[in-house]
């Protein structure tokens, strides 16, 4: 989606992310959890959601390749008993050595942007270090509207194909990522639990819903330029529907 990593978009979606995440998975985390490495941290929204749900003391290592977002994230995770550091770099290069002393690896809305090899490498690093993983809000490829329109599923299919695009020689997994990651963790010996974590959008969240719709349609158009969606988009924006956008949360525990 256009602008998916912008500070404004990440801020707009943060409340919907917080409501959608499967809080019961936090209750299943092994103890103790003191050191957490958050991959692709963005503005730090996952840390702001998760840190209050964990006992202190905590130390967060916020990792991202965008220095502006990383600066924002490290400046806006301020809670008693919580310390923070930034790690600038490519999260796909994570190694078991990086995870030495880390109790939990987290990410939000990241897995669907990775390839099979990148998820395999991430799983291997967690397995070698014995580090638990909590991966939230991975795109599941399911979007439902109330009321429905005839064009809906055509746009869903084009968007999902866009999520699976080849970018810079990397074949992104898109909505196939949650199932692929679950199987990879299980093969590596982890106990895996998944939960649906859908966004609930609609007229009660007009700014977020409208911005999501524009980005969603734009991605579908980019993938299938032959689609004629001007009237569809105008109709959807003119009378915002209730929307469920499917995501999956995954918890993997070793030992």
Those residues with Cβ within 8 angstroms of residue 10's Cβ, 6 or more apart along the chain or in another chain: 42, 43, 45, 69
Q: Tell me the torsion sign for CA atoms 48, 73, 92, 12.
A: positive
Which structure tokens are listed for 10? Answer: 């990440």
Which structure tokens are listed for 65? Answer: 């390749």
Tens-digit pLDDT profile for residues 116-146: 999 999 999 999 999 999 999 999 999 999 9
User: What is the per-residue pLDDT for 4?
Assistant: 61
Tens-digit pLDDT profile for residues 139-166: 999 999 999 999 999 999 999 999 999 9
pTM over 0.85: yes
Which structure tokens are listed for 170? Answer: 């990397």
The span from the first CA to the last CA of the chain, in angstroms, equals: 38
Q: How confident is the model at residue 63 (pLDDT cuts 50, 70, 90)?
A: very high
Question: Is the per-residue pLDDT at 3 higher than 50?
Answer: no
């Amino acid at each position: 989606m256009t602008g998916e990593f912008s500070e404004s978009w990440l801020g707009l979606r943060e409340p919907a992310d917080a409501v959608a995440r499967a809080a019961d998975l936090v209750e299943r985390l092994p103890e103790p959890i003191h050191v957490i490495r958050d991959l692709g941290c963005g503005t730090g929204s996952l840390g702001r959601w998760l840190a209050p749900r964990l006992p202190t003391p905590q130390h967060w290592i916020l990792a991202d390749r965008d220095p502006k977002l990383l600066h924002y994230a490290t400046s806006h995770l301020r809670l008693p008993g919580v310390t923070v550091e930034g790690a600038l770099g490519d999260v796909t290069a994570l190694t078991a050595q990086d995870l030495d002393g880390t109790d939990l690896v987290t990410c939000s809305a990241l897995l669907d942007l990775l390839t099979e090899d990148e998820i395999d490498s991430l799983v291997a690093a967690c397995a070698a270090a014995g580090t638990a993983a909590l991966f939230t809000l991975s795109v599941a490829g399911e979007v439902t509207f109330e009321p429905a329109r005839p064009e809906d599923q055509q746009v869903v299919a084009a968007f999902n194909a866009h999520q699976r695009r080849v970018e810079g020689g990397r074949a992104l997994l898109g909505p196939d990522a949650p199932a692929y990651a679950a199987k990879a963790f299980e093969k590596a010996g982890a106990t895996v639990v998944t939960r649906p974590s859908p966004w609930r959008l609609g007229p009660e969240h007009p700014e977020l819903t409208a911005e999501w719709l524009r980005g969603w349609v734009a991605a579908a158009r980019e993938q299938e330029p032959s689609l004629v969606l001007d009237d569809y988009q105008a109709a959807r924006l003119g009378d915002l529907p209730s929307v469920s956008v499917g995501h999956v949360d995954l918890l993997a525990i070793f030992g």
